[in-house]
Amino acid sequence: MFEINQKYPLLFTKSNGKYQELHSPNDLKTMTNIQLANAEDIGLLMNELKNFQKTFQKVSKLDVSLALKHIAKRILEEKDNFAHLIAIEGGKPLKDALIEVERAALTFTLCAEEATRIHGEMIPMERSSAALGKIAFTMKEPIGPVLAISAFNHPLNLLAHQVGCALASGCVVVLKPSPGTPLNAYQLKKLFLETNLPPEVLTIAPCDVAEIEQMVANKAFGYVSFIGSAKVGWSLRSKLAAGTRLALEHGGIAPAIVCADADIERAVKSLIKGAFYHAGQVCISTQRIFVHQSIREVFVNRFLEETKKLKTQSATLADTDVGPLIRPSEVVRIKSWIEEAVHLGAKLLIGNSTEGSHQQFLHPTVLFNVSEKSKLMNEEVFGPVVCINEFENLDILMDSLSETELVFESSIFTNDMNIFMKAIKALPAMSLVINEHTAFRVDWMPFGGHKASGLGMGGVKYSIEEMTRTKQIIIST
């Protein structure tokens, strides 16, 4: 599949656009060169989108479903190749990359199933004399071309969600992959060319910010799906063409509460995974842990023992637990946040050390008693850093957490049903997870952020609903 130093030109047009070097975060060596679409390329693409959509409308949902099932099958057949590409391109540890490949195949399978389930409903018309003699029903139609702007941290499964859901809805897709991980998109495109779907159903369009804004502002799109930073996402919202629907998936500062009655061993092992999976570069990564003061010492000691066992090294090695940050500049930023927290009184328990010729590896870092004024407690760190604070009164803690603006998932470890019921009402989150870390997700469940963390709903079925619109038919008999 992937070949080192092979150039990747634009596939949808001949362009004089510049090429951008792609470096592996593991060693910062050049992997390949990706051609970027310029304003002229994007203009030509926008002019063709309407025709692309018309062509796709002639394809039956059965054929779409069969094509998506083929993609799922081929992904599993290329499992090792895709996993290796995820590891070298995105820095995700190989053992986690293998799981992502399986998830991506499942996501396409789920999309294939949903493609043939999209339907409307009968509208009862005998509630008023004015409606007698009439039949009414609704049907679902695709919202139109979808612009999918993706992120680096799940370079295959995010594409499965954005592309698979759009196609199942009947919408053609223009995919703008992350500049750090575009190669999975190109490999996925190759698989789509094996199907009977028109090649125009998926267009790969790597480009710079100016061209992204050019597309977002174009009325050719019925839907824009953005996964990335809140700052960029909310900014794009202001540039959206009138009538275009938008989904934003940003990050959070996920809190996890460990109550006095919690199973400490279970909580520690779960939260280690939640905090340090993919070096913390996950929007629902566990960033803040609040432990009841009665079990604080035991919990912290066990947490540090497990943290010390984690292997931080190249993502391509089979036993790696924590790989590199996507860019060395992220290590610099995160270390400055750690230093700020220590300056404000936090105790550094472990970590804040780096490795690699370019210092691209940051060892898992744990801090205790972190000030509420620090960035680590108020902004998404997106790195292998976790803050542990103790609490005495659960009601006071949950009340303070209710003010959180970056809200995705929250978790609480307890065996007390009364606490569980109280947490349901008090804790901010689209998902509240009991006795599991905040980064738990399966691909068919609803998924999204509240407040500043996002807009719209993810998850296969729910994304497909957002990418369709309702048309009502009324027949007078």
Residue in 47, 43, 50, 48 with CA at minimum distance from that of residue 17: 43
Catalytic residue among 200, 249, 390, 466: 249
The answer, yes or no, to whether residue 4 has pLDDT greater than 70, is: no
The yes-or-no answer on residue 283 being catalytic is yes
Segment 314-319 shows an average pLDDT of 97
Note the pLDDT tens digit of each residue in 126-175.
Answer: 999 999 999 999 999 999 999 999 999 999 999 999 999 999 999 999 99
Q: Which domains does the chain have, with CATH numbers?
A: 7-250+453-476 (3.40.605.10), 254-442 (3.40.309.10)
pLDDT band at residue 19 using 50, 70 and 90 as cut-offs? very high
DSSP letter string, 392-451: S-HHHHHHHHTT-SEESEEEEE---HHHHHHHHHHS--SEEEESS-TT---TTS-B--EE
443 neighbors 161 (Cβ within 8 angstroms): yes
Report pLDDT for 430.
Answer: 81
209 neighbors 416 (Cβ within 8 angstroms): no
What percentage of the chain has pLDDT greater than the value 90?
82
Segment 114-128 shows an average pLDDT of 94
Report pLDDT for 153.
Answer: 94
DSSP letter string, 242-254: TT-EEEEE----E
355, β-bridge pairs: 361
Note the pLDDT tens digit of each residue in 261-293.
Answer: 999 999 999 999 999 999 999 988 999 999 999
Task: Provide φ and ψ at 450, rounded to 5°.
Answer: -100, 165
Segment 360-389 shows an average pLDDT of 97
pLDDT band at residue 1 using 50, 70 and 90 as cut-offs? low
Tell me, what amino acid is at 233?
G
The yes-or-no answer on residue 249 being catalytic is yes
Note the pLDDT tens digit of each residue in 375-412.
Answer: 999 999 999 999 999 999 999 999 998 877 777 789 99
Higher pLDDT, 441 or 151: 151
Catalytic residue among 165, 283, 390, 436: 283
Report pLDDT for 6.
Answer: 79
Report pLDDT for 136.
Answer: 96
Query: Model's pTM, two decimal places?
Result: 0.95
Report pLDDT for 188.
Answer: 97
The answer, yes or no, to whether residue 3 has pLDDT greater than 70, is: no
State how far the Cα of 334 lies from the Cα of 386, in Å rounded to an integer. 12
State how far the Cα of 158 lies from the Cα of 135, in Å rounded to an integer. 41
Report pLDDT for 358.
Answer: 85
CA 290 to chain centre: 25
pLDDT band at residue 230 using 50, 70 and 90 as cut-offs? confident
Report pLDDT for 2.
Answer: 59
Average pLDDT, the chain: 94
Higher pLDDT, 248 or 49: 49
Report pLDDT for 429.
Answer: 79
Report pLDDT for 272.
Answer: 98
